[in-house]
Amino acid sequence: MLDLNKFRRVVVPIFERNEERWFGGDIMFSKEAQNASYVGVIRDRSVEDVVAELRSIQNVYSRNLAALKWRKDPSGARVYERASYAYVPEGFFGKWQYHVRLWPHDDGVAVWAHYELNPWVRPASHYDGEGWEVERGAEWVHENFDVDTSKAKENVSKP
C-alpha cells in the first residue's frame, strides 16, 4: 500500500506558503484539524504501531490526496498529522468512508476522525461536506482501538 504521508509533510507546506502566488488563492493544501473531530489518545503506542493496525484491517486505504491537517503544540508550533487513513466498508470505491488522522502525542497517538462521502466517488459532494459526521467517525475508532478520551488534544508533539 502506497503511503506518502512523510512526503506530504515536506511538500504540502511549500505549496501552502505559495498558494496565492502560484494558484491565485487559498485552495486548502492544509488546514487546522477541527476540535470537534478529536476522538482521544491511543495510549503508549507510536503512530507506526497504529498505522500497522490500520493496514491490517481489510478495506483501509491511505488518504494521500487529502488536505494535510495540523495542530499547534503547547509552544504554538504547527505539528502536521503523521498519517491519514480511511476505512471504506464497501471497498476502495465504496460511497462512504471513516477518515482517521493520527498525530504523535505526549501519551501515545492522538486521533481525529469523521465519517464522510468517499472523495473518489462523489468529489464535489465530499468537498461540500455532504453527510460529514464526527460521531460516526469516533464510534468506528472506539470499536477498533482502546482510546483514552481524557487526554488533552493540545498535547500533540513532534516525534
The 10s digit of each residue's pLDDT in 75-95 is: 888 888 999 999 999 999 999
11-45 residue pLDDT tens: 666 666 666 777 676 556 668 899 999 999 999 99
Kindly write down the DSSP assignment for every residue of 131-152, as one continuous string.
T-BHHHHHHHHHHHS--BTTS-
State yes or no: pLDDT of 1 exceeds 50.
no
pTM, to two decimals: 0.84
3-state secondary structure of 35: helix
Domain span at residue 128 reads: 5-155
How many domains, the chain?
A: 1
CA distance 82 to 69: 9
